[in-house]
Amino acid sequence: MIQIYHNPRCGKSRNCLAFIKESEKEFEVINYLENVPKFDELKSLIQKLNFEPLALVRQKEKIWIENFKNKPMTNDEIIQAMVTYPILIERPIVIKGNKAIIGRDLDNVTDFLQLN
């Protein structure tokens, strides 16, 4: 089943969700601002994305700039910052099996959903 980490206030996230709905594939919506992923869940998600944790951070967010920018941090500290402030998590994230992508580009989502 497809999962989407979704923020309903984000236009890119709404577009991605609408696109997934149109695909008629079975999916689950995770509103990550209300159902904040636990540390281990986020760490696993980052592995599925094949990212370094910093690549998943919305580095232009005010919270990041004021509290974390230019501060030396371990990967675990970066993950914990996203758990503490889930608004820092890039969105939307589309998950299928043991792989995930950032779903901001619908062409990438199309290709991703077509993979076995």
Please pick, among 10, 33, 36, 87, the residue that the annotation labels catalytic: 10
Check the CA dihedral 51-30-114-110 and report its sign.
negative
Instruction: Quick: pLDDT tens for 104-115.
Output: 999 999 999 987
Q: Which amino acid is at 96?
A: K
Identify the band that residue 48 occupies on the pLDDT scale cut at 50, 70 and 90.
Answer: very high
Instruction: Quick: pLDDT tens for 70-93.
Output: 999 999 999 999 999 999 999 999
Please give the model's pTM, rounded to 2 decimal places.
0.93
Q: Which two tokens stand for residue 43?
A: 């760490």
Respond yes or no: is residue 16 known to be catalytic.
Answer: no
